[in-house]
């Protein structure tokens, strides 16, 4: 006798239909092309690696890091490098050029120093062309400042055990051209000091009129400081130093040459026995260079789009192949440029362009 077949219930029928549809949909998904992957967004802190180009080794030798500065604006196209020579008396020297990396004109001065000099290039198309600051070889090791070509030397009743720093600036409060001198004091704390000086007689013979010194006892160092003046429309001075003892890099900012506020709190997680040098392109874009405390003293560059913060050094720091004696110089011509005294046997001066800064 034939077996009686029962009709499927409505519930079983719906389950069967659902499974068939699911199988069909999964089949189409297996053969359908995958949607294009979304490009990963680039963090503003992830910057291109810095590379060195157009390196020039000068036929000059030095006992310390050089002074270095540039102006490339309007009618002024001038770069200068200053150094203390390896001659027996350690005379001060300056080379000047107009393309950023070549320096055909040389000056050797009767002044001498046991340290490297500081240099600042004049921002105008009239004298002074540049200014020098140095620690003298007199018994007091007095600090000296002079503008060139027609400036009178100013010897201060101040001294330091390290090289000073120097920058032209034009504070918003006065609108007049000033030089700002910074140095590390010989007090027990090794406090940083700043002194503004008015430049009198711009365009002709010039003289310097010192203002009031500010002792920044909250900042101290075992080396000289670095100093960057107002550039690129950024109304800010940046003072850099290597902290006493720990040798951590730190920065402070000022808009009036008197009050300096720490920009980095406890500092960067980087160390140097000499001062860092800062270069700003805009209010938020900046780079800092320094000589490392590694065994051979490599040059380092770290850039940021979030100044004064320098986040994530693993993504924003480049260790160059170059090694240096003393602190490097850092300036902007048509591109960022770095100058340093080499660790070769003669300690030659070098200048190179940095791409990616």
251-284 residue pLDDT tens: 999 988 889 998 777 678 899 999 999 988 788 8
User: Which residue ranges form the domains of the chain, and what is each CATH number?
Assistant: 51-355 (2.120.10.10)
Confidence of residue 28 (pLDDT cuts 50, 70, 90): very low
Cα–Cα–Cα angle for 158, 160, 162, rounded to 5 degrees: 150
pLDDT digits (tens, 9 = 90+) for 224-257: 999 986 544 556 789 999 999 999 999 999 988 8
| Token pair of 89 as six digits | 């008396």
Q: Is the pLDDT of residue 192 over 70?
A: yes
The answer to whether 300 and 287 have CB atoms below 8 angstroms apart is no
Instruction: Report the range of poorest mean pLDDT among 125-129, 138-142, 326-330.
Output: 125-129
- Tokens 């300056």 -> residue: 94
Where are any strands of DSSP class E within 98-141? 105-112, 118-121, 130-135
The answer to whether 276 and 287 have CB atoms below 8 angstroms apart is no
Confidence of residue 93 (pLDDT cuts 50, 70, 90): very high
Confidence of residue 127 (pLDDT cuts 50, 70, 90): confident
- Tokens 């199988």 -> residue: 23
The answer to whether 324 and 340 have CB atoms below 8 angstroms apart is yes
Residue 340 phi, psi (nearest 5): -155, 160
- Tokens 């770290």 -> residue: 302
Backbone CA torsion sign across 329, 330, 332, 336: positive
Residue 66 DSSP class: P
Kindly state the helix (H) or strand (E) to which residue 327 belongs, with its residue range. Answer: strand 317-332
> What secondary structure does DSSP assign to 155-185, as a single string?
EEEEE-SS--EEEEE--TTT-S-EEEEEEE-
Q: Give Dmax over CA atoms of the chain in angstroms.
A: 130
pTM for the structure as a whole: 0.84
pLDDT digits (tens, 9 = 90+) for 162-175: 999 999 987 545 56
Residue-wise burial string across 134-166, b where 16 or more C-beta atoms lie within 10 A, e elsewhere: bbbeeeebbbbbbbbeebeebebebbbbbbbbb
Bridging pattern class, strands 154-159 and 165-169: unpaired
Helix, strand, coil % (nearest 5) of the chain? 5, 50, 45
């Amino acid at each position: 006798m034939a077996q009686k077949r029962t009709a499927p219930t409505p519930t079983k029928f719906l389950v069967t239909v659902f499974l068939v549809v699911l199988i069909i949909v999964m089949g189409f998904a297996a053969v359908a092309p995958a949607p294009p992957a979304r490009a990963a967004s680039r963090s503003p802190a992830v910057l291109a690696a810095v590379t060195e180009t157009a390196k020039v080794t000068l036929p000059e030798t030095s006992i310390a890091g050089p002074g270095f500065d540039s102006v490339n604006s309007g009618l002024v196209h001038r770069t200068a490098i200053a150094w203390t020579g390896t001659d027996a008396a350690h005379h001060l020297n300056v080379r000047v050029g107009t393309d950023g990396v070549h320096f055909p004109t040389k000056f050797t001065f009767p002044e001498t120093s046991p340290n490297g000099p500081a240099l600042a290039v004049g921002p105008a198309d009239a004298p002074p062309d540049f200014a020098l600051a140095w620690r003298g070889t007199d018994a007091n090791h007095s600090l000296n400042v002079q503008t060139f070509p027609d400036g009178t030397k100013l010897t201060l009743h101040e001294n330091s055990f390290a090289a000073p720093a120097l920058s032209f600036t034009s504070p918003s409060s006065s609108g007049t051209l000033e030089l700002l001198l910074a140095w590390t004091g010989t007090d027990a704390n090794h406090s940083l000091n700043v002194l503004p000086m008015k430049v009198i007689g711009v365009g002709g013979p010039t003289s310097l009129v010192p203002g009031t010194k500010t002792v920044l006892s909250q900042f101290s160092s075992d080396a000289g400081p670095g100093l960057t003046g107002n550039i690129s429309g950024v109304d800010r001075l940046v003072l850099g130093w290597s902290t006493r003892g720990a040798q951590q890099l730190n920065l402070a900012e000022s808009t009036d040459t008197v009050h300096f506020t720490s920009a980095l709190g406890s500092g960067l997680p980087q160390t140097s026995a000499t001062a860092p040098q800062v270069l700003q392109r805009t209010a938020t874009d900046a780079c800092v260079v320094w000589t490392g405390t590694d065994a051979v003293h490599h040059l380092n560059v770290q850039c940021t789009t979030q100044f004064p913060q320098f986040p994530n050094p693993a993504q924003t720091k480049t260790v160059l192949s170059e090694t240096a004696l003393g602190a490097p110089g850092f300036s902007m011509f048509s591109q960022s440029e770095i100058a340093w005294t080499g660790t070769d046997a003669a300690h030659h001066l070098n200048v190179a362009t940095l791409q990616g800064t």
